[in-house]
Amino acid sequence: MAIRKSKKTTPAVETPVAVEAVTETASETPVASEPVEAHVESAASETPVAESTGPKTLSIDIGGSGVKLMVLDENGTPLTERARQDTPQPAKPQPIVDVIVALANSQTVGFDRISVGFPGVVHDGVVYTAPNLDPDWRGYDLAGTLSQVLGKPARVANDADVQGFGAIEGKGLELVLTLGTGLGSALFIDGRLVPNLELAHHPFRKGCTYEEQLGRAALDKAGKKKWNKRVRKAIELLAAIINHRALYIGGGNAKKLEGELPTNVRTVSNEAGILGGIALWRY
Ligand code: BGC
């Protein structure tokens, strides 16, 4: 059987969810006045904007190689096209916040609240780890900072957790893996998140962690064929441990998967990483 692509384009979960997230400090502060120049690859101007009366969410996906965002309506439907800028290097907090502000200012549709998927452990909007960005992130109040500079309430969760919300069906035990710069993982029970599951740095095989074997550096080093074999091994191992009903594989490198996958495994569009952002406001 060939790899199945999920047809889903909007998050499916309707159930209220518990997310490790959040700081909601709406502020009156206007949008920062000195944004860095935005290199918006795909601007919003072509997209017809649907009539939408509910709150609009600026949904942001911070990755090791790119920062992406778009505005979603109250149902999670995109109102703008995805805007992207390379992640600044070194990937320290301030330059990344500057990129977010620049991209946010480039959006043609306003927003009332902010959701962020962050590539590390996040508690109550504060970053604990950022293995593929920079050590300076430790203890950084990302939700508080974005609330202040963009003047809207912000919620922040782990990037794989957010991606998962955009991928799952909300039934039974569902596992999500993201194959990108790092290895993301997320677990859901009947649509409720078990936040901050970190498989990435857990031992996998040959003295290496999952991320060391399956992350972008490993793909570049080992090549597609070996890397594909490893992904399959990880799928088998995790199925034996977790016994999930379904596994969704997203992230920028999911498209590099070749050949058959077990019937309960499907790849999902990387856009789920942004579309899932709406779920952070559903509880
Ligand atoms: C981090 C995870 C993150 C993943 C994907 C890993 O290195 O520990 O928290 O979800 O990379 O970005």
CATH of the domain at 211: 3.30.420.40
Looking at residue 270, its pLDDT comes to: 85
Distance 213 CA to ligand 1 centre (A): 14
pLDDT digits (tens, 9 = 90+) for 172-201: 999 999 999 999 999 999 999 999 999 999
CB-ligand 1 contact for 127 (6 Å cutoff):
no
Burial of 255 (0-12, 13-18, 19+ CB in 10 A): middle
Distance 242 CA to ligand 1 centre (A): 19
| Token pair for 105 | 């200012």
Provide the residue count of the chain: 283
- Residue 91, in any domain of the structure: no
CB-ligand 1 contact for 159 (6 Å cutoff):
yes
Looking at residue 271, its pLDDT comes to: 86
Nearest CA to ligand 1 atom 8: 120
- Residue 61, in any domain of the structure: no
Residue with tokens 């069906």, as numbered in its chain: 169
pLDDT digits (tens, 9 = 90+) for 150-170: 999 999 999 999 999 999 999
Cα–Cα distance for residue pair 261/265, rounded to 1 Å? 6
Cα Rg of the chain (Å, integer): 18
Average pLDDT over residues 21-45: 39
Instruction: Provide the CA 112 distance to its chain's centre, in angstroms.
Output: 20
| Token pair for 58 | 């600026």
Alpha helices in 243-282 (DSSP H): 272-275
Cα–Cα distance for residue pair 193/199, rounded to 1 Å? 15
The number of beta carbons lying within 10 Å of the beta carbon of residue 193 is 27
* Model confidence, pTM: 0.84
Split at pLDDT 50, 70, 90, the class of 50 is low
- Residue 186, in any domain of the structure: yes
Per-residue b or e along 84-113, where b marks 16 or more CB atoms closer than 10 Å to that residue's CB: bbebbeebbbebbbbbbbbbbebbebebeb
- Residue 193, in any domain of the structure: yes
Cα–Cα distance for residue pair 128/225, rounded to 1 Å? 34
CB-ligand 1 contact for 196 (6 Å cutoff):
no
Taking each helix axis from N to C end, the angle separating 142-150 and 93-105, rounded to the nearest 10 degrees, works out to 40
Looking at residue 51, its pLDDT comes to: 65
Report the residue among 68, 196, 211 best suited for mutation to probe ligand 1: largest number of ligand atoms under 8 A from its CB: 211
Cα–Cα distance for residue pair 235/119, rounded to 1 Å? 21
Output phi, psi for 2, to 5 deg: -80, 165
Query: Which residues, including other chains, have CB under 8 Å from residue 33's CB and lie 6 or more apart?
Result: none
Report the residue among 68, 118, 132 best suited for mutation to probe ligand 1: largest number of ligand atoms under 8 A from its CB: 132
How many domains would you assign to the chain? 1
Strand 57-62 to strand 113-118: parallel, antiparallel, or no bridges (unpaired)?
Answer: parallel
Instruction: Look at residues 216, 184, 224 and name the one whose alpha carbon lies nearest to residue 200.
Output: 184
- Residue 200, in any domain of the structure: yes
Residue with tokens 């789920």, as numbered in its chain: 272
CA-angle at 243, arms to 242 and 244, nearest 5°: 90
Looking at residue 280, its pLDDT comes to: 97
Q: Is pLDDT at 72 greater than 60 in this prediction?
A: yes
- Residue 240, in any domain of the structure: yes
- Residue 175, in any domain of the structure: yes
CB-ligand 1 contact for 178 (6 Å cutoff):
yes
pLDDT digits (tens, 9 = 90+) for 201-240: 999 999 999 999 999 999 999 999 999 999 999 999 999 9
Q: Starting from the edge strand earliest in sequence, which strands make up the sheet with 154-158, in order?
A: 83-86, 66-72, 57-62, 113-118, 154-158
Average pLDDT over residues 5-32: 38
Distance 179 CA to ligand 1 centre (A): 10
The domain in which residue 185 lies consists of 170-269
Which atom of ligand 1 is closest in space to residue 196's alpha carbon?
9
- Residue 212, in any domain of the structure: yes
Looking at residue 200, its pLDDT comes to: 98
Peptide bond connecting 90 to the previous residue in cis, omega within 30 degrees of 0: yes
Q: Is pLDDT at 13 greater than 50 in this prediction?
A: no
Distance 26 CA to ligand 1 centre (A): 28
Residue with tokens 């990108």, as numbered in its chain: 180
Report the residue among 159, 208, 209 best suited for mutation to probe ligand 1: largest number of ligand atoms under 8 A from its CB: 159
Cα–Cα distance for residue pair 108/42, rounded to 1 Å? 12
pLDDT digits (tens, 9 = 90+) for 98-139: 999 999 999 999 999 999 999 999 999 999 999 999 999 999
The number of beta carbons lying within 10 Å of the beta carbon of residue 36 is 17
Split at pLDDT 50, 70, 90, the class of 29 is very low
Output phi, psi for 29, to 5 deg: -55, 130
CB-ligand 1 contact for 253 (6 Å cutoff):
no
CB-ligand 1 contact for 200 (6 Å cutoff):
yes
CB-ligand 1 contact for 120 (6 Å cutoff):
yes
Q: What is the average pLDDT value for the chain, to the nearest integer?
A: 87
